[in-house]
Structure 1
Amino acid sequence: MKLRKVTAASAAVLALALSATACGSDDKDDAGSGSSGGGTIKVGIKYDQPGLGLKEPDGSFSGFDVDVATYVAKELGYDADKIEFVETKSADRENAIARGDVKFIAATYSINDERKEKVNFAGPYLLAHQDLLVKTDSDITKGTDLNGKKLCSVTGSTSAQNVKEEIAPKAQLKEYGGYSECIAALQSGAVDAVTTDDSILAGFAAQDKYKGQFKLAGLKLSNENYGIGVKKDDTATTDKINAALTKMVSDGSWQKAVDANFGPAGYKNEPAPKIGDIVS
């Protein structure tokens, strides 16, 4: 009898273990449970781009990329308090995805053929262009007006060099460590214009301390198709994000986010691009 009781108890333990295992097999897949598990999701953004991806002094996050990422994460099953934003600098975006540091990245991530060899892209969700930011009373209205003027960009960026080589060979290039320094130089008159993506310029100009001081020249010096980076060959997550982006446009949330983050700079955005429609 004693042996029979022990056997029965063991059977009960085994049944409980099998039951727990079966319950575990019903968990959401990786796209639903997040790269960190436990009902959270890690999302890569920029921390230093006002209007796009900015970590505020109080620890909160703001910007168009943040709004897009938050909407997408919600469609994947995560409320805002279940999102962990991770800083992903431009040079580390592909590595962050490959390592599994984040589930996806929304960080002014332009789609190109070289990057598509390393990651999947959902989108695009914004078509930006290289442009110029100038003072509101500036007489610079076209690229050739930069001849003899001081043009600022970030060290290592090709934006200013492209302008000098292709549009205004007599422009005087000034390089700073970050765009915030370029904007401050523009405000003080140390430079006459700043160049990079119009979305980035609009985000900086929309800050309270700069409102009304700057304007975009409205030049379209390049096409930058912003996409959301996903792990290579993760088609399931890519498809879900594409569906979320389509919904964001159709329900008006996309335009609302554009207006909230770029409007004060007079940013004339392109219509929301169609999924997979890459403008070269």
Structure 2
Amino acid sequence: MKNWKNKLVTLSLLGTTILGGFVPNTAFAQEELPAQVQAIKDAGVFRVGIKEDVPHFGFLNPDTTEHEGFEIDLAKLIAEEITGSADNIEFTGVTPKTRGPLLDNGEVDAVIATFTITPERKETYNFTEPYFVDEVGFLVRTEDGITDFAGLEGKTIGVPQSATTKDLVQAEADAQGVTVKFSELATYPELKTALTSKRIDAMSVDKSILAGYVDDNNQILDIGFSPQEYGIATKLSNDELHNYLNELINGWLEDGTLAELLETNGVQASSSEGE
């Protein structure tokens, strides 16, 4: 794989502006679009599955009723490339449980929703090169005094349904000789509520997601494991669209566009990158 870590974190900021400061950069700009991409352009809308409960990545702001975050801006940038306008976009909120079926049913063209790339998932969907790498962590109540993995002995860990988190936490617990229990819930807000109400002892998911749920009564443990690579997912049959999106991601990794999007949305690169 390319040394994309350095490309991702190097802030080669751009001078010309669209979409609040970002410039499209694609080898397809002056060429005929592939048929699957042309179909989206002809339809006049890029349909994207996004998260609505992950601050800084994909979030539906209740005050403004607007979608915001790094992945929202990335989706808009793609819409700009394909249709000529970042406004030609249709968002559908997804969870780890629903994002796959929405792709399967053709209700969305792509999913940009903290979707972790795994060998098993690559048998079912196309994934672009990673646009972000994170690691699994824990959000715990500060009053409980938990500081490390050993402190989770006998505790109940809240994890999202249909995500990779449960298996990853179990594997790490086995490696460290720690016994844990699990509670699987559908959404991140439900997990946070369960933590606050003491129905679970820790909330576990990728650290970038946990960061959106930190408050005065909890903290993210200073540990992390199992690097998670996020990619844009499309149907296996949509090879032309996949190749087009992959070209965009590689170009934006090269020229610093993704790094600027991350910085604008207050997202920091994980310390696990490149490991």
What's the counterpart of residue 229 of structure 1? 233
Match runs of 1:1-280 below 5 Å = 29-34=35-40, 37-57=42-62, 58-135=64-141, 139-154=145-160, 158=166, 161-162=170-171, 164-167=173-176, 169-171=178-180, 173-174=182-183, 176-187=185-196, 191-205=200-214, 210=215, 213-261=217-265, 263=267, 269-270=270-271
| 1:102 positional shift | 1.7
Report the AA paired with residue 181 of structure 1.
E
| 1:128 positional shift | 1.8
Query: Which structure's relative contact order is higher, taking Cα pairs within 8 Å and 6+ residues apart?
Result: 2
What's the counterpart of residue 15 of structure 1? none
What's the counterpart of residue 16 of structure 1? none
CA distance in 2, matches of 1:213, 1:101: 39
| 1:84 positional shift | 0.6
CA distance in 1, matches of 2:115, 2:229: 8
| 1:191 positional shift | 4.6
| 1:138 positional shift | 6.5
Q: Contact 2:79–2:87 at 8 Å: present in 1 too?
A: no
The two structures have a TM-score, normalised by structure 2, of 0.70
What's the counterpart of residue 25 of structure 2? none
| 1:132 positional shift | 0.9
* Bigger Rg, which one: 1
Work out the percentage of aligned pairs sharing the same amino acid.
28
Report the AA paired with residue 68 of structure 1.
L
Report the AA paired with residue 200 of structure 1.
I
Structure 1 residues 34 and 120 mapped into 2: Cα distance closer, same or farther (>3 Å)? same
What stretches of structure 2 of length at least 5 have no aligned partner? 1-31
Whose helix proportion is higher, 1 or 2?
1
| 1:83 positional shift | 0.7
CA distance in 1, matches of 2:89, 2:120: 29
Structure 1 residues 234 and 258 mapped into 2: Cα distance closer, same or farther (>3 Å)? same
Report the AA paired with residue 240 of structure 1.
Y
Aligned length: 240
What stretches of structure 1 of length at least 5 have no aligned partner? 1-25, 274-278
Report the AA paired with residue 212 of structure 2.
G
RMSD (Å), alpha carbons: 3.4
Structure 1 residues 272 and 245 mapped into 2: Cα distance closer, same or farther (>3 Å)? farther
Report the AA paired with residue 85 of structure 2.
D
